[in-house]
Amino acid sequence: MHYTGTIWRPPYEASSLLLEVTAGCTHHKCKFCTLYDDLPFRFRMTPFEDIEADLIEAKEKFNLWKNYKIQRTFLTGANPFVLEYERLMKIAELIKKYFPGNRTIGCFSRITDISLKTDMELQKLKEAGYDGLTIGMETGDDEALKFMNKGYLSSDIVEQCKRLDKAGISYSFFYLTSISGKGRGEEGARATAEVCNKLHPQLVGANMLTIYPQSELYREIRKGNWEEEGEIEKYKELRVLVENLHISTTFAALGASNAIQLQGKLPEDKEQLLAVLDGIIESANEEELRRYRKSLPHL
């Protein structure tokens, strides 16, 4: 299989076929991000011949597991949805050729990637199987989005995800706890909930910001331009987010960045989630949580 660098996927894509169609990130300017620093280039499209070769190899391997059927493919790379409509459709055709039972195709997407497609193209992509996009919205806090160089604002999140809703393409959000900085986390959480409440994300997944020395954000901290939240403060922020989400969705904090992992359905499990968060806020040890944060070699 043609895998380049570290392959990242959401926890819920564990059973999906991982197919590389891009490597790296088209944006590569977010101050906190170090995920693709192991690549010698910013962004690269995988040649069709390599994609087809991988599908052939995967088919041969999965044919040995007679009782296992591929029903979902996850395209790897930081934001494969940036690819042109015609290329995404060709990839869907190749997947269907070798795995006719494949039902859906997911991938990471930036908000700006959606804007590159017309409404008709989004509808056709849905028909071709594209569904369940994973979007790193990070926050609905415009001040934080600007500072971190995300390349879009909260109004863009609402506009573009409403277009996905219209096309019937489902999506999940990743929220980055602490992205607003010390003293502003609860404000950022309220702004994020306000954005989510206007939309229909299948999941709002929280990851906790973990800062590495090679990041631009680390240099901003050294200059005194930004300060990280404490660990307990991060859980207070998460509590505000959960409390202010008024839509039907799944809330989860499952990645390695979360020392204490949580998951529940909203609104059904809201009170239970809030009670768990209250318990963490009241009894968790700041120093132990900080030691966990520092022990993470990478995300």
pLDDT tens by residue, 126-151: 999 999 999 999 999 999 999 999 99
The pTM score is 0.95
Helices (H), the chain: 48-63, 85-98, 111-114, 119-127, 142-147, 154-167, 185-196, 216-222, 231-244, 270-283, 286-295
Strands 171-177 and 249-253: unpaired
Q: Residue ranges of the alpha helices (H) in 47-184?
A: 48-63, 85-98, 111-114, 119-127, 142-147, 154-167
Chain centre distance of CA 101 = 26
Check if the beta carbon of residue 45 is closer than 8 Å to that of residue 22. Answer: yes
Q: Which domains does the chain have, with CATH numbers?
A: 1-128 (3.30.750), 132-299 (3.30.750.200)
How large a percentage of the chain has pLDDT more than 70? Answer: 98
CA atoms within 13 A of residue 224's CA, in its CB half-sphere: 0
Q: What is the DSSP letter of 130?
A: B
Candidate from 26-40, 75-89, 141-155, 276-290 with smallest mean pLDDT = 26-40
pLDDT digit string (tens) for 14-28? 999 999 999 999 999
Give pLDDT, residue 67: 67
Q: Which two tokens stand for residue 294?
A: 């520092």
Q: What is the C-alpha separation between 59 and 106, in angstroms, rounded? A: 19
Using one digit for the tens of pLDDT, what is the confidence trace for 233-265? 999 999 999 999 999 999 999 989 999 999 999
Encode 250-268: b = buried (16+ Cβ within 10 Å), e = exposed: bbbbbbebbbeebebebee
Q: What is the pLDDT of residue 66?
A: 65
